[in-house]
């Protein structure tokens, strides 16, 4: 088995495959630790999925947080996770620990190596054939594997833009905060005892953090003149629903297989769950189960993304929802529990009905 892409998604696929006794080679043009701009929050379901892959989260330098706080127009709503804690973790720290575990598990790596194409019996590296029964594309939202395998047909695609920077300041909360503004959303995640991650997501590719902070005076005031802990880095957050994510021997994983908007914070968890399912399908010798299961795994985060993006686009509705969350905290707690998979999606409809009635009175 060859995994093209050595980020967290690709390493997760490798770890899950090794748990089933498969031989694995991971190939990437970069060298670890590989960084990527993101909100750097790993929700409790993501922590559980990572530990299922054999990664000891206690070994990761991280900052736990216990819930989510929404802040919008002077209104605040918060809820704690129903089970477990989340982790704020620098992407480079997460990647380093995952690579180390994969090496202990017997995964082979070829860093600084470029795959130039697929062949009937494997992949082409430096003009030579590297034989492989299974080929996994974990090479990101601009996946070449997706194009080579003819899996690029999509039913839905949209893009937003994310920029991230770290600040060397003690976290002022043990919650991840999501601040809603007129031009985008700002995530504030504690990633260490003296450091936070601030990530901006918007529909404007030209909007940067320094300018956007003017829309979030509360965060700007708390940051004050804090020293920057990293340079600003940007990425495109792509929501894509593909017609298929497999053929007879190629499977796509993580952002290469579609992805949900970064507003959910569920991208890594989804990739880890996909990796476990994919490894089971390969061990059984049939990728059709992965194709079916991939759709099922994406339903909950896709639904939550749609709901949150609706609040992003409709300020008046968001204000009314925030007021309902404040007066009925159990509504927000129910939404958060659904978000992290602690209660079934069908319960969200029941929670949504209660929210609808509450909106009529606020």
Reported as a single tens digit per residue, the pLDDT across 83-93 is 999 999 999 99
Asked whether residue 163 falls in the same domain as residue 202, the answer is yes
Range of the domain at 208: 158-235
Tell me if 53 is assigned to some domain: yes
Structure tokens at 6: 């050595």
Tell me if 72 is assigned to some domain: no
* Whole-number Å distance between alpha carbons of 5 and 24: 12
Asked whether residue 92 falls in the same domain as residue 17, the answer is yes
Predicted local confidence at residue 158, as pLDDT? 82
Asked whether residue 223 falls in the same domain as residue 112, the answer is no
Structure tokens at 166: 């770290």
Predicted local confidence at residue 280, as pLDDT? 97
pLDDT at residue 24 greater than cutoff 90: yes
What is the number of domains present in the chain? 3
pLDDT at residue 354 greater than cutoff 80: no
* Whole-number Å distance between alpha carbons of 249 and 133: 7
Distances from the Cα of 361 to the Cα of 320, 324, 356, angstroms: 10, 9, 9
* Whole-number Å distance between alpha carbons of 137 and 141: 10
pLDDT at residue 252 greater than cutoff 50: yes
Asked whether residue 226 falls in the same domain as residue 113, the answer is no
pTM of the model: 0.91
């Amino acid at each position: 088995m060859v995994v093209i892409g050595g980020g967290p998604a690709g390493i997760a696929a490798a770890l899950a495959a090794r748990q089933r006794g498969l031989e694995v080679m991971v190939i990437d043009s970069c060298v670890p630790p590989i960084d990527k701009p993101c909100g750097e929050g790993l929700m409790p379901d993501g922590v559980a999925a990572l530990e299922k892959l054999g990664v000891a989260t206690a070994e990761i330098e991280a900052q736990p947080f216990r819930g989510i706080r929404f802040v919008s127009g002077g209104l605040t709503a918060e809820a704690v996770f129903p089970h477990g804690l989340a982790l704020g973790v620098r992407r480079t720290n997460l990647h380093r620990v995952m690579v180390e575990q994969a090496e202990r598990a017997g995964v082979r790596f070829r860093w600084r190596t470029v795959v130039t194409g697929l062949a009937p019996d494997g992949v082409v590296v430096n003009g030579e054939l590297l034989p492989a029964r299974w080929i996994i594309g974990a090479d990101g939202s601009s996946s070449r594997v997706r194009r080579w395998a003819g899996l690029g047909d999509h039913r839905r695609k949209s893009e937003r833009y994310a920029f991230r920077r770290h600040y060397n300041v003690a976290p002022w909360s043990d919650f991840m905060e999501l601040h809603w503004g007129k031009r985008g959303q700002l995530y504030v995640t504690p990633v260490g005892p003296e450091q936070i991650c601030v990530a901006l997501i918007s529909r404007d590719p030209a909007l940067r953090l320094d300018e956007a902070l003017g829309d979030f005076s509360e965060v700007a005031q708390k940051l004050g003149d804090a020293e920057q802990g990293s340079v600003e880095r940007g990425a495109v957050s792509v929501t894509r629903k593909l017609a298929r994510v497999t053929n007879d021997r190629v499977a796509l994983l993580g952002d290469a297989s579609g992805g949900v908007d970064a507003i959910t914070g569920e991208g890594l968890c989804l990739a880890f769950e996909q990796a476990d399912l994919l490894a089971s399908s390969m061990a059984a010798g049939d990728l059709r189960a992965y194709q079916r299961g991939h759709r099922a795994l994406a339903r909950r985060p896709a639904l939550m993304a749609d709901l949150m993006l609706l609040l992003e686009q409709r300020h008046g509705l968001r204000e009314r929802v925030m007021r309902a969350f404040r007066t009925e905290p159990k509504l927000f707690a129910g939404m958060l529990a659904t978000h992290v998979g602690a209660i079934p999606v069908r319960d969200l409809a029941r929670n949504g009905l209660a929210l609808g009635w509450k909106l009529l009175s606020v």
